[in-house]
Structure 1
C-alpha cells in the first residue's frame, strides 16, 4: 500500500514553505522507502525555495538525512528493511566511463527513484537533490542508501549526506590535505567548517579560517582552525601569506562560491599550491584572471563535487571516526527542531545564527 505522510513543500519562488500531505508509492524495482529519522536544514534547500536551482516547483525539500529502510523493491540486494542508512544524492551507476575507469566518485550518470512522490491532488513533486527528506518517509533509488553503524545519532549522521561531506571531502579527497600542510578556508559556514575539520583530521599544521563574521570564526576554531582572519577588516591574501612564511597556503579551499573570494583563494596559495572550489556559484557569475598568472603560479585549480566522495567508502569510515571520538560531527548541530519549524530555520540560517538546524522526527528522539 502507498504511504500518506507529512512533508515540507516549496510551492513557488520565495514563498514560505508549507507542511502538506505527501503520497509516497510502494518501492518499485531498484527503489527503497526510508523512514526518515532526522534531516539537516541545508542552504541548498533555501536555494531551491528561492528558485536558485531550477523552477521545477513544487519541491519536496530536505536531503541531509538518516533513517531506517522500510521497504525495498524488486531486485534490490544492497540494502534491506531494517538497515540504518544515510541518504546520498549521487547513487553511482557503475557503467559510465568514470565508473568503468575506477573513478566512481565522478559518475556521470547518477540516478534517483523512477517513480514520483505527489501531493494529495496528484501534483508531481520534485525532490530536492533527488531525495526529498523533510518528510516522514521518502522514496529513493536503493543506491542512494548507504548503510552505517546504527550507534550514530541520526541528527549527526544525516549531515554527511551533503554539506559536511562536501567540506570534509574538499579537504581530504579533492585537496589531498596531508600531514604538515598549510590550509586556508575562505567561508566558514557548515561546508567551510567541515573543510577545516577535515584538514585537522588529515594532520594539517596550519589551518587559517577566513570569514566576515566573528561568530563564524569562533566556531571555526572549535573545528581545528589555528588562526582566524576577518576579511571585512583585513586583507585575507596578505594575512594568509604572513601566516605561511610569506609563501601562501599549500591548499586554499573556497567555500563561498563567488568570483571575489575565488580570486582571493587563487592569490593566497603558494606556488604550485592547490585551490579547491566547493562553494556553489550562481549561473550569472563570471571569473576573470590573467592567463599568465594561471600559467606562472602552477599547481592545481580544482572543483569539488560533493567532496569527490564515494558514499559506500566514505560514510562508514567517517561514522567510525565519529564513534571513536575523532571527528567532531556533533559540533555542527546547532539545534534540533520539528518538521513545522523549517521556515524559521531558514531565517536563522540567513542571519548566521546556526551552523545546522536539524529536523528530528518523533521516532528518532533520544
Structure 2
C-alpha cells in the first residue's frame, strides 16, 4: 500500500517549488523505502528546477540525503529495515564493461527504482538523480543505500551523497593528490571547498584556493588552503605559478565548469600536471585550446564523475574519518531548514551566502 508524504516539487521551468503531498509505493524487487532525516540543497536541484537537466517535469527534488531504511523489497539483502544509510546516485550494476574491468566507480548502467512516486492525481514524478529526497520518505533502488555508522549526524552524512563527495573525490580519487603535491582549486563553493579539504587530507604541501568571493576564500582557508587568490584583482594563472616556484601546480581542480576557468586550470598546471574538471558545464559551452599546447604540456586532462567514488568503499571511510575528528564535515553545514524553505535556500545559494543549506525532517 502506498504512503502519503510531503515533498518538494518543481512543476515547471523556473517556477518556484511547492510543498505537496505525494504517493510513495511499497518497494518492489531490489528496492527500498527510506525515511529521510536530512537532505542538502545542491546546485543540481536548482538546475532541475531551471530545466537545465531535462524537461521531464514535474520533478521530485533533493538527492544529498541520509535516513533510515523503513522497508525493502524482494531479493534485498545488502540493507535491512532500521539501517542508517546515505543515499547515492551511482548504484553500480556489477555487470557492465566498467564493472567487469574492476572500475565500478565508472559504472555505465547504474540502478534506480523501477516504480514511480506520484502526485495525488497519479502524475508520475521524475526523481532528481533517481533519488528525490526533499520528502519525508522516498523510494530508491537498494543499491542506492550505503550503510554507515549511525552515530554521525544525518545533516552531515547526507552531504557525502553528492557535493562534498564530488569535491573530496576530485582531489583524492580523480586527481590522485599525493603527499607534498601542490594543488590549486578554482571555485570554492561547496564542491571546491571539499576539494580543498581533500587535498589537505591527502597531505598536499601547498593548496591555492581561487575565487571571486572573499567569503568563500575565507572558508577555504579554514578548510585547509595555504594561499588564496582573488581572481577579480589578480590573474589566477600568474598567481598560481608565482606560488609554485614559477612552474604551476601539480594538480589543478576546476570546480566551476566554465571555458574561462578550465583554460585557467590548463595553463596553471605544471608540465605533466593534472587538470580535473568537477564543475558541471552547460550544454552550450565550448572550449578552444591550441592542440600543440595540449600535446606539449603533457600530463592528464580528467573529468571527475561524482568524485570517481565507490559509495560502498568511500562513504563509510569518510564517515569514520569525520567521527575520529580528522574530517570536519560540519564546516559545510551553514544552516538547517524545513521543507518549506527550499525555494529561499536556492536564493541564498545563488548569491553565495551559504555552503550548504540542509533540510532536516
Q: When the two structures are superposed, what TM-score results if normalisation uses the length of structure 1?
A: 0.98
Deviant stretches of 4+, over 2 Å: none
Q: Confirm whether residue 354 of structure 1 aligns to residue 354 of structure 2.
A: yes
CA shift, 1:249, in A, is: 0.1
Alignment of 1:139-288 (within 5 A): 139-288=139-288
Q: CA deviation at 1:103?
A: 0.4
Q: How many angstroms apart in 2 are the aligned matches of 1:92 and 1:241?
A: 40
Matches within 5 A, 1:61-80: 61-80=61-80
State the 1:111 CA deviation: 1.1
SS of corresponding position for 1:312: helix
Secondary structure class of the residue paired with 1:113: coil
Structure 2 match to 1:125: 125
Q: What residue number does 2:56 align with?
A: 56
Other structure's SS at 2:262 match: helix
Secondary structure at the counterpart of residue 86 of structure 2:
strand
TM-superposed CA distance for 1:227, in Å, is: 0.3
* Cα deviation digits, residues 209-246 of structure 1 (max 9, x gap): 00000001001111000000000110000000000000
Alignment map for 1:249-328 (pairs within 5 Å): 249-328=249-328
Question: How far apart, in 2, do the equivalents of 1:187 and 1:118 lie?
Answer: 37
1:212 & 1:225 partners in 2: Cα distance?
Answer: 15
- Structure 2: stretches of 5+ with no match in the other structure: none
Q: Matched residue pairs, number?
A: 361
* In structure 2, C-alpha distance between the alignment counterparts of 1:330 and 1:318, rounded to whole Å: 13
Partner of 2:31: 31
Give the distance between the partners of 2:21 and 2:122, measured in 1 at CA: 11
Tell me the secondary structure at the aligned position of residue 198 of structure 1: helix
Q: SS of the counterpart of 1:293?
A: helix
TM-score by length of 2: 1.00
3-state DSSP class of the match of 1:166? helix
Report the Cα distance in structure 1 between the residues aligned to 2:351 and 2:285, rounded to whole angstroms.
23
Distance in 2, matches of 1:204 and 1:50, equals 37
SS at match of 2:307: helix
Q: Distance in 1 between matches of 2:43 and 2:220?
A: 18
- The one-character-per-residue Cα deviations of 1:70-122 (angstroms, maximum 9, x if unpaired) are 00000001000000000000000000000001100000000100000000000
Equivalent residue number for residue 364 of structure 1: none
How far apart are the structure 1 equivalents of 2:226 and 2:44?
Answer: 29
Tell me the CA shift for residue 2 of structure 1: 1.1
**Which residue is equivalent to 1:3?**
3
Residue ranges of structure 1 left out of the alignment (5+ in a row)? 362-366
